[in-house]
Amino acid sequence: IIHGVSLYLEQKWYRKTIWMYLAVPVLLYAGERFLRFFRSRLYTVEICKVVIYPGNVVVLHMSKPASFDYKSGQYVFVQCPAVSKFEWHPFSITSSPRDDYISIHIRQLGDWTEGIKKAFSVVCQAPEAGISGLLRADAPNRTSLPELLIDGPYGSPAEDHRKYDVLLLVGLGIGATPFISILRDLLNNIIKQHEQAEGLSGSCSNSNVSSDHSFTCLNSEHGNRTPKNQRRTLNTKNAYFYWVTREQGSFDWFREIMNEIADSDIKGVIEMHNYLTSVYDEGDARSTLLTMIQTLNHAKNGVDIFSGTKLRTHFGRPKWKKVLSKIGTKHKNERIGVFYCGGPSLGKELSTLCHEFNQTG
């Protein structure tokens, strides 16, 4: 490139061809930058809530622009001019498309994310009682907050989850973020179906029908067909969420949504499993005492002592071949989608196992 530029400067440019090769990537890069600049001005967001967890994770809740439509599993690019006027970083959206806000989880892993944490720590305070090291600001003073720009949404493989009857969602550490939006969306569907079922049963019970006739409650607009929006919610019959993390404090990031699912998912559509790898595997003599204490506390209080959720935490790592075999046996003749976000080593293992199970049927 340097040699080509020197020729371009020293010789008559129209007699050389190097400018043609330089023009295409330069125009594409400049066009992408200009497009992002204008797109970011289309969506004005305001910070509604800031939470900083002990594991150096910043959670930002932003107002949702009226024209901002996205799907579960998608992501946005974020810029904070107070930290850097030119850097844009992608983050998975962790809120549901039906929520009236947009949320993202940012983990401190570099200079830019460290700057984000410092910029928003100024407006946060420690709660009077709660998690040690937690900082939060509910409905903070917007004049004291740094400006935040977003560009998106952008598609990702996770947004294809609606194509499958059964989902296996696997996240390592902060890699769970793309699937939180999917879980929230499924939870909202469960709640909506429950409300619709109650509404239909209520209309049936209040109908004045002669006892000599049998009757069936139908949607008056669609006859005996399921409404279009309801058919879409029924595509996913079951979802299995496996979250593997090394730090116990990580469970605080998504404690609220996990407890909400445990309370609302009466039919067991969503099955969640938390794994803590910093403790020896279950069955190991060195973790026997912890397992006993955990079991007793969960039976007595209904809360896990490690995660603080209603889900019992497993120790060590999942046996993935056993997990896939169990799901495949339970859901024969159904389309099963495996989605993963984390390190490449486990991704290769899951890909190999999926190929093996597809070959064996």
- Indicate if 8 and 144 belong to the same structural domain: no
The angle that helices 255-264 and 177-205 make with each other, rounded to 10 degrees, is: 30
- In the chain, what percentage of residues exceed pLDDT 70? 73
- Indicate if 147 and 175 belong to the same structural domain: no
- Indicate if 124 and 189 belong to the same structural domain: no
Q: Which of 8-22, 61-75, 97-111, 136-150 shows the lowest mean pLDDT across its residues?
A: 8-22
**Of 128, 155, 182, the domain-final residue:** 155
102 versus 251: which is more confidently predicted? 102
Residues 316-354 pLDDT 10s: 889 999 999 999 889 888 888 999 999 899 999 999 999
Q: Which of 75-84, 276-285, 309-318, 342-351 shows the lowest mean pLDDT across its residues?
A: 276-285
Count of structural domains within the chain? 3
Per-residue model confidence (pLDDT) at position 228: 40
- Indicate if 179 and 325 belong to the same structural domain: yes
Per-residue model confidence (pLDDT) at position 110: 87
Per-residue model confidence (pLDDT) at position 163: 86
* Residue 54: closest CA among 136, 152, 111, 154: 136
- Indicate if 121 and 179 belong to the same structural domain: no
**Of 155, 187, 205, the domain-final residue:** 155
Is residue 104 within 8 Å of residue 94, measured between CB atoms?
yes
- Indicate if 339 and 271 belong to the same structural domain: yes
207 versus 156: which is more confidently predicted? 156
- AA identity, residue 226: T
For the record, the structure tokens of 159 come out as: 């947004």
- Indicate if 132 and 238 belong to the same structural domain: no
Residues 207-256 pLDDT 10s: 333 223 322 233 323 333 333 444 444 478 889 999 998 887 788 888 88
For the record, the structure tokens of 258 come out as: 């996990």
Domain region containing 15: 2-36
Domain membership of residue 218 (yes or no) is no
Task: Give the pLDDT mean for 250-263.
Answer: 85
Spatial strand order in the sheet of 270-276: 313-315, 270-276, 238-245, 166-172, 336-341
Per-residue model confidence (pLDDT) at position 194: 65
Per-residue model confidence (pLDDT) at position 240: 94
**Of 105, 134, 155, the domain-final residue:** 155
Domain membership of residue 226 (yes or no) is no
